[in-house]
């Protein structure tokens, strides 16, 4: 809830824009002193004369507070934009044009003495004993500060630069240095935990592939990748260099190999057919409903389906849907349908039914999710007008390793354990993100958790 307060006309100074002040004063309930940024920071953008044969590294800032990055590295004689300015470690750097989109950062040690253009401004701390620069950076990066930065941006175009004089005239809450450090530590501790869990999830994803390779006793020979190789014509199953760059002779297998057509039935139907008969409104699945190799039923669209052909178009439990066209990363996207309700599917998906006496549906989709099997998809897929395509006939020649059903169950049990761990980590990550936002806002705005 907003606090009510009176704002005297004289305090607006020379700009009729009360919202900047309103956002500052309406939210804060702490007794922290408010200090103008100009009393804490000083503009220290030092012109750097360029030496023609010397290499220089120019940095830029990503919007939404996403770090500073290298824009280019060039010799002085090749740099057309003049003047250039040098930056030093622990300076606060801000983009005049994109400040309203959180384009600012504290310069880390390894970017010391790199250069910036006129569109950036660098600031030094006047007194490190009263301002922690990380606290200042954190304060400005909070979403409740965005409207304040926008209020200091002018002009009528969508790229509104911030007025530096008005930025320096802006007031911020300034607690004691030890409280600033506590706020920064709280922020870093939570962010580090989030990063640790995200890294753990990435490692869990790698563990799935490593486990699968080990469990199936697949060994890939470590050979130096050849830039030039010969293929005997008789060995070609398909006239495509890419399709022959993946060679199963380089692999050792412990279980029987089968082609997909021996273990699956392909039953693809198209929803583009028309009829003059009665139609019904029925939910249908699309590629966008496949998330992390499972169906997400929360965003379902509906389709008019010919009731006389209903049986042909409906999915049955344990059917597998396989995406046949899209980008290279999505063309093999698949999932097992495990519902008992009536659903149909989009025309760019291939419907397959497994022979459950030979292979489990979830084991089949697990193989398609592994790096090894994706190599096969890459080798047989075709790129047409920017999209990659694969049809049911090509998928039939896909080679899979077929251990006994008991081994398949063991593999799936282990994979499910990894997935559950991954899911718990993700839930924890989402909770930490909420906690991070709540705690930092509470500490700065209300003096809580201090």
- 247 and 375: one domain? yes
Q: Which residues pair with 258 in a beta bridge?
A: 400
Q: What is the pLDDT of residues 405-429, one digit of tens each?
A: 999 999 999 989 998 999 999 999 9
Regarding predicted confidence, which is higher, 11 or 189?
A: 189
Residue 53 near residue 77, CB atoms below 8 Å: yes
Least confident of 90-94, 260-264, 278-282, 325-329: 325-329
pLDDT digits (tens, 9 = 90+) for 69-114: 888 888 988 888 888 888 888 888 888 887 777 788 888 877 767 8
Question: Confidence band (pLDDT; 50, 70, 90) for 436?
Answer: very high
With beta carbons less than 8 A apart as the criterion, state whether 167 and 395 touch. Answer: no
Q: 43-57 in b/e burial notation, b at 16+ Cβ within 10 A?
A: ebbeebebeeeeebe
Alpha-carbon span 117 to 60, nearest angstrom = 9
Q: What is the largest CA-CA distance in the chain?
A: 89
Of 113, 145, 174, which closes a domain?
Answer: 174
pLDDT of residue 16: 44
Whether pLDDT at 68 is above 90: no
Provide the pLDDT for residue 239. 46
Mean pLDDT score, 256-285: 69
Q: Which of 286, 310, 309 is nearest to 298 (CA)?
A: 286
119: domain CATH number is: 3.90.220.20
Q: Higher confidence at residue 260 or residue 363?
A: 363
**Would you tell me how many other CB atoms lie within 10 Å of the CB of residue 182?**
16
On the question of pLDDT at 50 being above 90, the answer is no
Say whether both 260 and 128 belong to one domain: no
The verdict on residue 225 lying in a domain is no
143 and 286 inside one domain: no
In a domain, 286, yes or no: yes
Asked whether residue 185 carries a pLDDT value surpassing 80, the answer given is yes
253 and 378 share a domain? yes
Instruction: Give the residue with greater pLDDT, 218 vs 56.
Output: 56
User: Which tens digit of pLDDT belongs to each residue from 154-168?
Assistant: 554 555 677 788 888
Domain contains 318: yes
Is residue 94 packed enough to be buried (19+ CB in 10 Å), middle (13-18) or exposed (0-12)?
buried
Average pLDDT for 397-403: 82
How many domains does the chain fold into?
Answer: 2
pLDDT at site 20: 47
Q: Compute the distance between CA of residue 343 and CA of residue 349 in angstroms, rounded to an integer.
A: 13
**pLDDT given at position 30:** 74
Least confident of 117-131, 165-179, 234-248, 372-386: 234-248
- 44 and 164 together in one domain: yes
Query: Is 375 part of any domain?
Result: yes
Answer yes or no: do 155 and 78 share one domain: yes
Domain boundary among 174, 194, 228: 174
259 shares a domain with 152: no
Residue 121, pLDDT above cutoff 70: yes
| Residue 428: inside a domain | no
Predicted pLDDT at 47? 82
Q: Which range is least confidently modeled, 25-39, 213-227, 276-290, 328-342? A: 213-227
**Containing domain of residue 81, as a range?**
9-174
DSSP output for 45-94: -EEEPPPTTSEEEEEEE-TTT--EEEEEEEEGGG--S--EEE--TT-EEE
Q: Are residues 152 and 258 in the same domain?
A: no
Same domain, 384 and 304: yes
Backbone conformation region of residue 295, classed left if phi is above 0, alpha if psi is from -120 to 50, else beta: beta
Q: How confident is the model at residue 274 (pLDDT cuts 50, 70, 90)?
A: very low
Q: What is the pLDDT of residues 339-352, one digit of tens each?
A: 888 888 887 788 88
* Mean pLDDT score, 328-345: 80
Task: Please give the structure tokens belonging to residue 74.
Answer: 């060039």
Within a domain: 448 = no
35 lies in a domain?
Answer: yes
Q: Is residue 363 part of a domain?
A: yes
Cis (ω within 30 of 0) for the bond into 409? no
pLDDT interval class at 24 (50, 70, 90): low
Q: In the listed set 133, 156, 174, which residue is the last one of a domain according to the structure?
A: 174
Of 137, 139, 27, 2, nearest to 445 by C-alpha is: 27
Q: What is the pLDDT of residue 200?
A: 95
- Better-scored residue on pLDDT, 365 or 428: 428
Tell me: do 134 and 21 sit in the same domain: yes
Residue 15: Cβ within 10 Å count = 13
Q: Which residue has the tokens 């047409």?
A: 384
Indicate if 394 and 261 belong to the same structural domain.
yes
Q: Above 80 in pLDDT, residue 252? A: no
Same domain, residue pair 276 and 143: no
**Confidence at residue 276, expressed as pLDDT on a 0 to 100 scale:** 47
Q: What angle do CA 358, 363, 364 make, to 5 degrees?
A: 80
């Amino acid at each position: 809830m907003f606090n009510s307060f009176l704002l005297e006309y004289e305090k607006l100074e020379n700009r009729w824009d009360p919202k900047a002040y309103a956002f500052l004063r309406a939210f804060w309930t702490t007794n922290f002193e408010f200090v103008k940024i100009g009393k804490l920071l000083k503009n220290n953008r030092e012109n750097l004369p360029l030496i023609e044969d010397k290499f220089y590294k120019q940095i830029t800032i990503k919007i939404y507070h996403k770090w500073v990055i290298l824009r280019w590295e060039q010799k002085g004689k090749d740099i057309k934009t003049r003047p250039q300015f040098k930056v030093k470690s622990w300076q606060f750097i801000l983009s005049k044009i994109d400040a309203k989109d959180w384009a600012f950062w504290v310069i880390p040690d390894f970017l010391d003495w790199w250069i910036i253009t006129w569109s950036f401004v660098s600031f030094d701390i006047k007194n490190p004993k009263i301002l922690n620069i990380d606290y200042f950076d954190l304060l400005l990066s909070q979403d409740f500060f965005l409207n304040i930065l926008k209020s200091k941006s002018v002009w009528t175009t969508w790229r509104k630069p911030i007025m530096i004089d008005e930025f320096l005239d802006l007031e911020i809450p300034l607690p004691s240095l030890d409280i600033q450090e506590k706020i920064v530590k709280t922020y870093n501790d939570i962010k580090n935990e989030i990063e640790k869990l995200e890294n753990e999830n990435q490692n869990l994803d790698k563990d799935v592939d490593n486990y699968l390779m080990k469990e199936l006793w697949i060994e890939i020979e470590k050979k130096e990748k050849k830039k030039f190789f010969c293929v005997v014509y008789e060995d070609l199953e398909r006239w495509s260099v890419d399709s022959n760059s993946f060679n199963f002779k380089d692999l050792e297998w412990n279980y029987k190999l089968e082609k997909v057509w021996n273990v699956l039935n392909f039953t693809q139907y198209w929803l583009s057919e028309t009829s003059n008969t009665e139609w019904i409104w029925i939910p249908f699945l699309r590629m966008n409903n496949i998330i992390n190799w499972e169906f997400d039923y929360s965003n379902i669209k509906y389709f008019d389906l010919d009731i006389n052909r209903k049986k042909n178009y409906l999915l049955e439990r344990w059917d597998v849907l396989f995406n046949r066209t899209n980008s290279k990363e999505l063309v093999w996207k698949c999932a097992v349908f495990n519902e008992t309700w009536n659903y149909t599917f989009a025309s760019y998906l291939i419907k397959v039914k497994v022979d459950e006496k030979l292979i489990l549906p979830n084991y089949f989709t697990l193989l398609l999710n592994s790096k090894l099997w994706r190599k096969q998809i890459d080798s047989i897929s075709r790129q047409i007008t920017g999209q990659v395509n694969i049809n049911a006939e090509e998928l039939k020649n896909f080679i899979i390793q077929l251990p006994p059903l008991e081994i398949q169950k063991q593999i799936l049990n282990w994979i499910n354990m990894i997935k559950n761990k991954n899911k718990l980590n993700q839930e924890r990550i989402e909770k930490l993100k909420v906690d991070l936002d709540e705690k930092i806002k509470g500490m700065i705005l209300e003096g809580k958790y201090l």
